[in-house]
């Protein structure tokens, strides 16, 4: 609906091939980890730079179906934080696996 109204839309994605496979209108790829697609935690300036570049890339794509890969590389020496496996929703699903189906339907348990 947005595209039909003349509003360009795009996907900022660490797996641009996946976004292309589902026919996203405009794809902006970045070589950052999936959990940190805009950069390291605490690097507000770097995150703003990635966001600005992503928005500029979408604006420069005149027609749907285009892809641009941003030139950013993960900063040398910056560790990619690992998230704990025992997040609350995971613990709940482990205890009550039947709730997983609700989660898949969009009903947050």
pLDDT of residue 83: 66
Domain ranges of the chain: 1-71, 82-109
Whether the CB-CB separation of 38 and 50 falls below 8 Å is answered with: yes
pLDDT of residue 5: 87
| pLDDT tens readout for residues 34-65 | 788 999 999 999 999 999 999 999 999 988 89
Distance CA 15, CA 28 (A): 9
- What 8-state DSSP symbol labels residue 68? E
Mean pLDDT score of the chain, rounded to an integer?
A: 87
Q: Report the pLDDT averaged over residues 76-96.
A: 77
- Maximum separation of any 2 CA atoms in the chain, in Å: 49
pLDDT beyond 90 at 8: no
């Amino acid at each position: 609906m947005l595209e039909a109204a003349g509003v360009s839309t795009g996907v900022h994605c660490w797996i641009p091939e996946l976004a292309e496979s589902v026919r996203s209108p405009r794809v902006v790829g970045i070589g950052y980890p999936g959990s940190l697609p805009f950069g390291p935690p605490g690097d507000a300036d770097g995150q703003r730079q990635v966001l600005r570049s992503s928005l500029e890339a979408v604006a420069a794509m005149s027609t749907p179906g285009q892809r641009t890969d941003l030139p950013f590389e993960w900063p040398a020496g910056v560790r990619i934080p690992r998230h704990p496996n025992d997040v609350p929703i995971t613990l709940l699903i482990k205890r009550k696996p039947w709730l997983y189906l609700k989660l898949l339907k969009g009903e947050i348990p």
